[in-house]
Structure 1
Amino acid sequence: MYLGIDLGTSEIKAMLVDGDNKPIVSSAVQQIISRPYPLWSEQSPENWWQATCEALEQLRRSAPAAFAEVRAIGISGQMHGAVLLDGRHRVLRPAILWNDTRSFAECIELEALVPESREITGNLAMPGFTAPKLLWLQKHEPTVFRSISKVLLPKDYLVYRLTGELVSDMSDAAGTLWLDVARRDWSERMLTATGLTREQMPALIEGCEVAGNLKEDLVRQWGLSGTVVVAGGAGDNAASAVGVGAVSPNSALVSLGSSGVIFVSTDHFSPNPAQAVHAFCHALPDRWCQMSVTLAAATSLSWATRLTGHGSEAAFAKLAEDVVMETAPVFLPYLNGERTPHNNAQATGMFVGLTSNTDAAAIAYSVMEGVAFSLADGYAALTAAGTRIEQAVFVGGGARSRFWGTLVASACGFTLQRPRGGDLGGAFGAARLARMAATGEAAEAVCSRVPDEDLIKPSAMLAARLKPRHERYQRLYRTINEKALF
């Protein structure tokens, strides 16, 4: 058995996968976000650990015999978060998360300090990334900054609690702005610019390599036996790509989770920072990826569900299917700022075209359409970097809605493949990485494509109806941004 753990923003999920690559049982524990000030987003690393232990205990109770056979553990997680440890490896403050945008001014400062930063990192400096967060801390929390012995990413903190080792994998490290992504090594230039050294960074390994062995006290506590290895793991999107088999060049993934991501695997480093495309390392050796990111995807639907007083997101989304789109408002889904293609931490969401006849169904439709348009704009940025997609695996909570998938497919112009067998995202991919770490098997032997439940093809008729609304959506952003109303 192989155990995958996914440290998400809204929940921690654990999954057991057998030697035939089949999910056996999964569990989940909800997480909360602290927002003490505008633009801030934080979580407690200790809460992550407690939730992980709870999720694993759920697995033990559900499938005790299978759990006892665990031989390797892999972890995926939300990227970019800053977990700060002192000299005794104690957490100094709550982790600053990927959707925290307080450090937007420091992004400008960092690129001024290192004019070649985009060439080194392959990415624009964005407030969601880790390095600008440390510049902010240096200014606003200098006592904390001076006490930093190690900077870890969220999933790396769990690896530390499991093994006692301070390591990170290439896919996650690529989202810090400290990594020379082409060379797959820490950049001394970027570290120096933020007042840090290589000694304050974790060791770097590939996601399918062994990070360490599970601590003996945890082996006993969880009723395991023998040596249990822990893999380097991966950032959430790279792990999801491993989970659905998007590991060969030009294979693609669309994730409609808290954020919306279009992920394309490549065999070379191919950046396009001018349009806020992310160029990262993949979780496997000698492979890279490109990503476009919408910061508030399923998050937008969750927000609208609460706003309209509906208890079920699925039921609320279902209302959208009977709406005449031409009568619905246009929605800009920038509830947490935006990344691709705008890189605008100050962008805010809005509805345009509300009338006294606008009802909850129209709001649901507008939100889902707006997220589809944001993904389409991200895909346009990817195509500007030379990437073309014919088909992409469709995962995340939003993938449960075939209607939403049709909007995305038609707005973007490529087919979506919904995998059979439920959610095979980050936790499943992490389990596959655990298997490779334990057995030494090649990625091609483990990362098979999952069977399709169905194909969601773009509709030419729907695309034609969406086109003028998408153009209006784009004009609204440009006009409002130029007038500095964000």
Structure 2
Amino acid sequence: MYLGLDLGTSGIKALLIDDAQRVVDEASAPLEVQRPAPGWSEQRPADWITAATAALDALAARRDLSGVRGVGLSGHMHGATLLDASDNVLRPCILWNDTRAHAEAAALDADPAFRAVSGNVVFPGFTAPKLVWVRDAEPEIFRRTARVLLPKDYLRLWLTGETVSEPSDAAGTSWLDTGARDWSDELLGACGLGREHMPRLVEGSAPSGGLRREVADLWGLAPGTVVAGGGGDNAASAIGVGAVGAGRGFVSLGTSGVLFAASDAYSPAPETSVHTFCHAVPDTWHQMGVILSATDSLNWYAGLVGKDAASLTGALGPLQAPGRALFLPYLGGERTPHNDAAVRGALIGLEHGTDTAAGTRAVLEGVAHAFRDNLDALRATGTRIDSLIAVGGGSRSAYWLQAIATALDLPVDVPEAGDFGAALGAARLGMMAATGAGSEIATPPKIARTVAPDARLRAAFADAHGRYRQTYTALKELS
């Protein structure tokens, strides 16, 4: 068997697969985000260990884990986990959706070396500007920082005692030479850091270390069991759904939203705000558009109206043409294509007839319009998307998938296996590291159904998207 651990923003998932890659069992444990100031988003790394322990406890209570031959990791990207020389955590991890470092990001992005070497805009949520913020706002913490780890790599340190990362996650720091798949001394130096502050790099499908006896014995695992390099959450999701070759992609409806396309070549286009990152397997890259609030937007609206998200979406019936109500999902700023940390969301066009259902439709449509912005940005780079697979918790909503397919004018495949993208990808990477298998084992899942665009509503969604873009322009002036 092979074990995948996926560290998400709202929880951690542990997934077991057998030698035929069939899902054997899974367990999860929740996590919370702390928001101590506007625009801030943090988690305590100790909570990741507590949640991972709870998920593994639940698995071990039902399954004999002694047959696990490999472990893979995935996790939310860009988080700044700061350790001292004794590997003690110095402060809460600053998360991917934290925008406090927007001024620092702009300053770094103004240095041409960052786009030229990393292949990307320096977004406020990336790791590098967070370290500059710590350097200036918390100088004592910065002085004591001996090592910077990404979230999943802190789990690896607990599991193996090794400080290791891999290129797909490291590409989101703004410190990686993404074409060379190695740390850039120039970019690190611009932030007052050096290679000694960084973990060593292995490919996501390569061994990164073995389980420590103290950890392995807790769940009956074999000490020394191989732990793979793993991947950032989106690269791991791509491994889970078989989006490895050029033209293969997925749409992810998680806390954030991602439109992902695999590529056989490194083709950066930072001026579009499209992310160009390394994939989790060697000699492969990917591009993606990212929106910061996908299911986060729906959960916000559910809290506003005092209902749960599933009941709101489940009551909608068949897809309707967009109404006058229009939602822009910029609750914490936006990445692709705007790179705008200051803009905030809006729910406009309200009238007497706007009820809870109309508001729900507007929120789902707003996220679909944001994905359309992502698709336009990806196409502007020449990126090809031949097919999309839906992943993430929001993909359980049939209405939402129909809206996205219609807004993008692309069919969306829904896998039989359900929401196992990143955790399954992590388990597959663990299998590759343990057996020496290559990316050929990352096959697409069986498809339960295909959601086709609704041709009757294509024009209505295109018109609504035009209003959406005009409203963003107006919002930007007010932000």
Summarize the alignment of residues 238-249 of structure 1 with structure 2, pairs less than 5 Å apart: 238-249=235-246
| Structure 2 counterpart of 1:196, one-letter code | L
Aligned residue for 2:362?
366
| Structure 2 counterpart of 1:162, one-letter code | L
The alpha carbon displacement at 1:321 in A equals 3.3
CA contact (8 A) 2:212 2:224 kept: no
d(CA) in 2 for partners of 1:314 and 1:326?
Answer: 20
Aligned residue for 2:105?
107
Aligned residue for 2:119?
122
d(CA) in 2 for partners of 1:234 and 1:326?
Answer: 37
Report the 3-state secondary structure (helix = DSSP H, G, I; strand = E; otherwise coil) of the residue aligned with 1:175: helix
CA deviation profile, 1:78-126 (whole Å, cap 9, x unmatched): 00000000000100000000000000000121123x3221111111111
Aligned residue for 1:474?
469
The alpha carbon displacement at 1:238 in A equals 0.3
Q: 2:228 aligns with which of 228, 231, 243?
A: 231
Q: 2:253 aligns with which of 234, 253, 256?
A: 256
| Structure 1 counterpart of 2:71, one-letter code | I
Aligned residue for 1:275?
272
| Structure 2 counterpart of 1:417, one-letter code | D
Q: 2:424 aligns with which of 423, 428, 436?
A: 428
Find out whether 1:410 has 2:395 as its counterpart: no
Q: Any unmatched runs of 5+ in structure 1?
A: none
Summarize the alignment of residues 443-462 of structure 1 with structure 2, pairs less than 5 Å apart: 443-444=439-440, 446-462=441-457
Aligned residue for 1:162?
159
The alpha carbon displacement at 1:326 in A equals 4.7
Aligned residue for 1:347?
343
Find out whether 1:465 has 2:460 as its counterpart: yes
Find out whether 1:195 has 2:192 as its counterpart: yes
d(CA) in 2 for partners of 1:22 and 1:223?
Answer: 21
d(CA) in 2 for partners of 1:71 and 1:326?
Answer: 50
d(CA) in 2 for partners of 1:96 and 1:301?
Answer: 23
The alpha carbon displacement at 1:389 in A equals 1.8
CA contact (8 A) 1:321 1:365 kept: no
Aligned residue for 2:43?
43
Summarize the alignment of residues 50-199 of structure 1 with structure 2, pairs less than 5 Å apart: 50-63=50-63, 65=64, 67-112=65-110, 114-199=111-196
Q: Residues 148, 226 of structure 1: CA spacing in aligned structure 2 closer, same or farther, 3 A cutoff?
A: closer
- Farther-moved stretch of structure 1 (30-39 vs 212-221): 212-221
- Farther-moved stretch of structure 1 (366-375 vs 272-281): 272-281
d(CA) in 2 for partners of 1:226 and 1:177?
Answer: 35
Find out whether 1:23 has 2:23 as its counterpart: yes
Aligned residue for 2:435?
439
- Farther-moved stretch of structure 1 (74-83 vs 244-253): 244-253
The alpha carbon displacement at 1:469 in A equals 1.0
CA contact (8 A) 1:325 1:365 kept: no
d(CA) in 2 for partners of 1:115 and 1:352?
Answer: 39
CA deviation profile, 1:14-57 (whole Å, cap 9, x unmatched): 11111110111111111000000011000000110111011000
d(CA) in 1 for partners of 2:263 and 2:320?
Answer: 40
Report the 3-state secondary structure (helix = DSSP H, G, I; strand = E; otherwise coil) of the residue aligned with 1:174: helix
The alpha carbon displacement at 1:58 in A equals 0.4
CA contact (8 A) 1:328 1:363 kept: no
Report the 3-state secondary structure (helix = DSSP H, G, I; strand = E; otherwise coil) of the residue aligned with 1:320: coil
CA deviation profile, 1:54-77 (whole Å, cap 9, x unmatched): 1000001122x2x22111111100
d(CA) in 1 for partners of 2:319 and 2:265?
Answer: 44
CA deviation profile, 1:426-445 (whole Å, cap 9, x unmatched): 1110000000000001111x
Report the 3-state secondary structure (helix = DSSP H, G, I; strand = E; otherwise coil) of the residue aligned with 1:124: coil
CA contact (8 A) 1:251 1:265 kept: yes
Q: 2:330 aligns with which of 326, 331, 334?
A: 334
d(CA) in 1 for partners of 2:246 and 2:112?
Answer: 31
Find out whether 1:315 has 2:311 as its counterpart: yes
d(CA) in 1 for partners of 2:231 and 2:414?
Answer: 22
- Farther-moved stretch of structure 1 (169-178 vs 224-233): 224-233
d(CA) in 1 for partners of 2:427 and 2:217?
Answer: 21
CA contact (8 A) 1:206 1:285 kept: yes
CA contact (8 A) 2:278 2:286 kept: yes
d(CA) in 2 for partners of 1:249 and 1:337?
Answer: 30
CA contact (8 A) 2:210 2:224 kept: yes
- Farther-moved stretch of structure 1 (455-464 vs 296-305): 455-464
- Farther-moved stretch of structure 1 (129-138 vs 325-334): 325-334
d(CA) in 2 for partners of 1:421 and 1:276?
Answer: 32
The normalised TM-score by structure 2 is 0.98
CA deviation profile, 1:393-441 (whole Å, cap 9, x unmatched): 1111111112211111111121111111222211110000000000001
Report the 3-state secondary structure (helix = DSSP H, G, I; strand = E; otherwise coil) of the residue aligned with 1:453: strand
d(CA) in 2 for partners of 1:290 and 1:252?
Answer: 9
d(CA) in 1 for partners of 2:340 and 2:315?
Answer: 31
Report the 3-state secondary structure (helix = DSSP H, G, I; strand = E; otherwise coil) of the residue aligned with 1:406: helix
The alpha carbon displacement at 1:356 in A equals 2.5
The alpha carbon displacement at 1:319 in A equals 3.1
Q: Any unmatched runs of 5+ in structure 2?
A: none
The alpha carbon displacement at 1:253 in A equals 1.0
d(CA) in 2 for partners of 1:314 and 1:462?
Answer: 24
Aligned residue for 1:289?
286
Report the 3-state secondary structure (helix = DSSP H, G, I; strand = E; otherwise coil) of the residue aligned with 1:68: helix
The alpha carbon displacement at 1:323 in A equals 7.7
Query: What is the aligned residue count?
Result: 479
Q: Taking every aligned residue pair, what percent have the same amino acid on both sides?
A: 48
Report the 3-state secondary structure (helix = DSSP H, G, I; strand = E; otherwise coil) of the residue aligned with 2:224: coil
The alpha carbon displacement at 1:324 in A equals 5.2
